[in-house]
Structures are given as C-alpha cells and as structure tokens.
C-alpha cells in the first residue's frame, strides 16, 4: 500500500464526511474508494464503518437537545437497534468473502435507491398523519427497527430514511426531534457493529480492519464534516443528494459489470 493509496482514501473520507454533514450517503464514496485500492468487500466495509463512525457522534451531539420529550421512543427503539446492529455485523463477518463480493453491487444499488427516495418519501410523510401509538404500532415499530439494525450492521448506507419514515408513522412531526432520535439510533447501530467488528478482529477474523487507514480517514472525515456543516446552507442538501445518487448509480452499474459481466 502506497502513500497515494492513503491520500486517495483520505480525500474520499473528507468528501464522505462533508456529504454526511450536508445530505447523508457518504458511505457511497468511502466504501468504493477502499475497494478501488484493492481491499476486499468486507475489509472495505469494516474499515469505512470504523473511520466514519466518529463523525456520527458529532451528528448526534448537535441534535442532543432535540431529544427532550421523546425519551419513551429512545428507550423502546434503542434495544432493537443494538440487537439488530450486532446481528447484522456478525452476519457480514461470517458471510463468505466470495458471496459478499457478489453482494457489493446490490448493496450499493440499495443504498443509492434509499438515498434517492429520501425527498419523495419525505414529501409523502408530511401529508400522512401519524397513527395512534397503540401496543400493536409499537410492536411493529420495534420489529421494523430491528430489521433496520440488521441492515445497518451489515452495510448501513441509507438507514436514515428508513428510520425517519418509521418515526413519522409513529406520530412524530418535529423534524429536529426525528433527526436527533435518528442520529442516536444510528449511533447505536454503528457503535455495536464496530464493537462486533473489533471483537471478531481480535478473536477470530483478523485482517478485516486496515488500521493504517482508519486513523487518517477518521481525521479526514471529521474535517470533512466540519467543512460540510459550514457549506450546508450555501450549497443545500438537494444538489448534493442528487450528485451522490448519480455517483451511486454509476458505481452500481460498474460493479454489476465487474462482478457479473453485465
């Protein structure tokens, strides 16, 4: 691995941090950059998750005051987030490398579609009145959050729109509260996934974490997050999201061609 490889993934991490701060979807930049320098799909996934996670702490901290009044939501939805995230991370680690590499195009495509659906789903949900939070609705929400956790622990890009949709249907209408809770739950999902990655790294599956890349990428992603926060009001979320969605579809097409020859 050369200095150029390190500089390449640092640049991608900076861009990913800025994208996450503005619109979300930074994994669609950091993950392919790691694949591009020769990492396997699992190595790229684990390394990208570790490198970008500190930035999600900042996202949660910025919305911490917006969690006031929705403690019940957090207490009910954190456990399935943690359980699902841990299970998803474990499933990713035990997936045979060849199988995971064949899933890469589908994972990138799924994340891109979720990001593309953000605005249309958001407009739809603003017209939908939340249902009464009966025991049945809570049970459905907890089960759904568990599934989101599994996907988040396995790959993770695009979980934000899924959680915002579920919170809207549960009756939350304050977007700041919803973003605060979404960031908390994402922190739980990615945090427990990282714990699982670390445990498996030291106990059973060494080699998935490329430590020489994690720290420089984390620093670059943090700086990118600060830059993105500064630029958010200047460039707006919509143009950035359209750009990332375009990149995502191009990458998905490339990896479908590379993997399946179609």
Q: Is pLDDT larger for residue 26 or for residue 48?
A: 48
Range in 72-76, 122-126, 207-211 with the lowest mean pLDDT: 122-126
* Residue, of 11 and 260, whose pLDDT is higher: 11
Q: What is the pLDDT of residue 80?
A: 92
Please give the pLDDT value at position 86: 92
Confidence of residue 136 (pLDDT cuts 50, 70, 90): confident
CA distances from 219 to 47, 85, 90 (A): 13, 24, 27
Tell me which of 48 and 228 has the higher pLDDT.
Answer: 48
Return d(Cα 161, Cα 62) in angstroms, integer: 19
* pLDDT band per the 50, 70, 90 thresholds, residue 196: confident
For the cut 60, the answer to whether the pLDDT of residue 130 exceeds it is no
Q: Mean pLDDT score of the chain, rounded to an integer?
A: 79
Mean pLDDT, range 188-213, rounded to an integer: 79
Digit-coded pLDDT (tens) for 235-257: 666 777 777 778 788 888 888 88
Per-residue confidence (pLDDT) for residue 122, from 0 to 100: 63
pLDDT digits (tens, 9 = 90+) for 57-86: 766 676 667 677 777 788 888 999 999 999
Token reading at 217: 């990428």
Characterize 139-174 residue by residue with b for buried, 16 or more Cβ atoms within 10 angstroms of its Cβ, and e for exposed: eebeebbbebbbbbbbbbbbbbbbbbbbbbbbebee
C-alpha distances (whole Å) from 243 to each of 168, 195, 198, 233 are 26, 32, 33, 16
Contacts of 158 (CB under 8 A, 6+ apart): 24, 25, 110, 111, 112, 113, 114, 115
Rounded to two decimals, what is the model's pTM? 0.77
């Amino acid at each position: 691995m050369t200095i150029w490889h390190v500089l390449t993934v640092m640049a991608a991490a900076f861009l990913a941090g800025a994208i996450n701060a503005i619109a979300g979807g930074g994994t669609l930049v950091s993950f392919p950059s790691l694949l591009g320098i020769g990492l396997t799909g699992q190595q790229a996934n684990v390394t990208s998750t570790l490198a970008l996670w500190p930035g999600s702490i900042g996202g949660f901290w910025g919305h911490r005051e917006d969690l006031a009044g929705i403690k019940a939501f957090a207490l009910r939805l954190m456990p399935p987030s943690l359980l699902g995230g841990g299970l998803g991370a474990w499933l990713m680690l035990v997936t045979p490398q060849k199988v995971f590499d064949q899933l890469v195009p589908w994972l990138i495509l799924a994340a891109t579609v979720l990001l593309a659906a953000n605005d249309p789903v958001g407009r739809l949900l603003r017209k939908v009145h939340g249902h009464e939070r009966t025991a049945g609705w809570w049970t459905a929400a907890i089960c759904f959050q568990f599934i989101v956790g599994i996907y988040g622990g396995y790959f993770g890009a695009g979980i934000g729109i899924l959680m915002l949709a579920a919170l809207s249907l549960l009756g939350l209408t304050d977007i700041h509260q919803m973003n605060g809770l979404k960031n908390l739950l994402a922190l739980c999902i990615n945090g427990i996934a990282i714990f699982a990655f670390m445990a498996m790294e030291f106990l059973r599956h060494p080699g998935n974490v490329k430590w020489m890349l994690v720290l420089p990428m984390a620093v670059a992603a943090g700086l990118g997050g600060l830059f993105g926060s500064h630029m958010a009001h200047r460039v707006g979320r919509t143009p950035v999201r359209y750009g990332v969605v375009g990149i995502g579809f191009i990458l998905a097409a490339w990896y479908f061609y590379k993997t399946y020859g179609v």
